[in-house]
Each structure stands twice: as C-alpha cells, then as structure tokens.
Structure 1
Amino acid sequence: MTQNALGQAIGFPVPNWSARPKPPRAPLQGRFARIEMLDADAHAAQLYAANAADREGRIWTYLPYGPYTEEGVYRDWVAGMAKSEDPLFHAIIDQASGKAVGVASYLRIDAAVGVIEVGHINYAPALQRTAAASEAMYLLMKRVFDELGYRRYEWKCDALNAPSRAAAERLGFTYEGLFRQATIYKGRNRDTAWYAIIDKDWPKIRAVYEAWLSPGNFNEAGKPRQRLSEMMRSARA
C-alpha cells in the first residue's frame, strides 16, 4: 500500500507518464482476419449481405441501432459511422473469403490517461465462432497495448447479454462489476456489466493468444486443437 506524508492511502506512482497517441487508421493484418477502417463503398454491401444470414435479427438485440432491412439505409448508417473519430469503426475482413463480415470500434478514447474501450461489436453469422473472430479481437488489443501503450482496455455490455459476457471472459477480460440502470436503449433498461484488461495483465494474455494462434495449434481441417477459453483459464490459474 502506498501512503502520502499524512499517512493516507493513495494510488501507486505512475512515473514518466505521458498522454498516449490516438489510434491510427492503419490496417491490422493477421493470419485469419484483416482489420480496416470502415468504409461504405468498400464494406457496406458485403456487411449487409453477411448480416442478412441472421434471419431473426439476433445480432442487433443488444445494440442501440438496427436491425436494417434495407441495404440503402444500412449503407447510410455505415457512411455516417465511417466519419466518426470516437467511436472509431473498423471492418473485420475474413482472409479466406476476402469479404467484410463484422465490425468493431474503439470508443471512449481517453488518451490522456491511457484508457480505451472496444465496443459496437457486431459479427455476422459467417464470422461467429471462427478463428478470425478471436484473432480480430487480439489484433485490436495488441494495437492498444503494444503499439500505443495504453494502460486499460475496457469491454462493457448489457448484463443480460450472456454471449457477450462469455466472450469477454474467453478473450481474457476480467469482470469488474455491475452498473445498475446505467442507460436506456430501444426503450428498455440496461444494467451494464464491466470488464477490462490492464497493462500488467497483457503479457500473459498475449502469450496465450500467440500460442493459440500458432499454426501448430490448428489441425488439417483448420480447427484449433486447444480451446482459447481453456487456455485463458489455465493462464489465470
């Protein structure tokens, strides 16, 4: 515990700290996924077609917008979001098909203290439960910690969104608590579950991703031999 001259408990020193850079618009390249800045001309039609495979509209339930039943309306939304600096939207490209199949953004970017959130995550069925889906999250994390030097990376979701909560833990985030009645969206209450990775967690989490993404962890059919969730659990233990 750190104390000041008055004997009061205070936070530990952060020597030589300086504001971090804002996230760049440069692409990120992985084995299974490529991440590009969202662009209506390049991605809207592909994303709309990929999202249409979700015939019940489940992917929109916990987002404050959508579903979109007309391609032109969705394209307008993409065009608007592509201009935003915060949230900063990215398209996730499946390397195998070369098509955009998901989006994710950096948001609530606080460069002064090195805190950033990942959100607006929307994976079309073609991206869900694939190696590209997990690698995309790793690439965004790697930029935040290794390239930009942030201290904290957040994930927040509706507390009733069980798949999102499970994904956060599988991807290496730690649950930090519940913010009751945090907001209202689509005319209903949202209690928000908070998760985060901090810089001291990152080396161990990065090592798990690197081991999981290594070619030796994938069989001839392209399926991982070890589950990412099990590897994360072992690393934490």
Structure 2
Amino acid sequence: MFATAFDVVGHTVEIAKIEDKHIAPLWTLLQEEENIRLYRQLYHIDPTSEEDLGRDLLASSQNNLDTKATRAIINKFTSDVLGWLIVRSQDPDTSAMTAEAAMFLPRALRSERGTETMYYVSHTVFDNLDYEKLEFRAGTSSEAWGPGGGQLGRSLIGVLTRQMLDRGRSAESDLFVVMKAQWPVISLAIGAWLDSKGSTKVERAVGTSS
C-alpha cells in the first residue's frame, strides 16, 4: 500500500493508505475514456499522434495490476496530480462502494488541466460508486473527520456541480476560476477543524506543499 501527506493551513495531514485490494477498482476508473483523454492532456501527449503514449501506458498493464508501471500511473495520477487519495470498500451483499478518505490539494489548482482532471475523477468517484461516506484522517492519530468532513466534501462537489454542470460552464475555462475561489473557504474550514482538535493530534508541516 502507499500513502501521501500534504500541507494545509500550516499542518501536515496524512491521508489514509490505499490498500492493495482497492487498486483494481481505482484502476478501472482510470481506464475510462474520459480519464484517458485527461491523462493525455496532463502529460502533454498528442492525441493525434500515431504512438499514443497515454493509451500505451494504460493498456500495457491493465491486465496486470501488480506491475510497478500500473502502480506508478495510479500513484502519479491520484497523488502527484490530483493531490488526493481514496480508500474504498465494497459490500459483498449490495456491491455498494464506499469512499473512505479523500482530499484536494491547492497545487491541483495551479493548472486548468489538473483542476479539470480533479473534477472529473472525483465526480466519477462520488457519482458512480454508490457514495456512502467521506472521512479525512489527520496526522498519525488516524482520527476520522466524521460527518463534518463528509459534509465539507459533498459541499465542494455540490458547488462544482451547480456552477459547472447546471449552468453549462466550460471545464477548460471556468472550473479553474470556481475552484480557485472556493479553496480559501475550504482550507480555512480544514484549518479550523485541525486547530479545534489541538496541535498535538496532528504533525506540523515542515515546509509548504509543492
């Protein structure tokens, strides 16, 4: 399994790890045509070229989820680019998928392509996996953020949906503006929650996020 940590409002918050058993469902998400297109955009791959590196990378390891190449793609696409990781479980009786941990990073807002990708992938997660809950975990305490964290996440998705889909805005242009406008509110809310829990329960950031 692998994990990531990031800086937000002066704190380092560690996201819950993606377990091996959750690699396959996440990989399935990245195989979708829409996400392959966004993968090409992010890594500056010309979709009209005869040699489509994006599709080659994805196809080369889609039948072998244990390869280093596959895990590298998943890790880079979710952690390095989007700045958030998810852990999901599946109910064997209902097949309901659960998103247990997710977080957005300010660095994902530094490019329109990164923000567009973050929106589409998160939208897929929340809409197509029978979304049940969203928890954030702080520092080494692994303390769930609980209902407040879930409401915060749903609120952000709600803002994006209302301002993007319902109003027919362009993801290439307006989404970046929307996210940039919303991030200060989200980051302050996260910082206030961490402060209310006490600094001893989280690790202070050594530096700033890149």
TM range (shorter): 0.3 to 0.5
> Computing the radius of gyration over CA atoms, which structure comes out larger, 1 or 2?
1
Using CA pairs under 8 Å that are at least 6 residues apart, name the structure with larger relative contact order, 1 or 2: 2
Structure with higher helix content: 2
Structure with higher strand content: 1
| TM-score (normalizing by structure 1) | 0.34
| TM-score (normalizing by structure 2) | 0.37
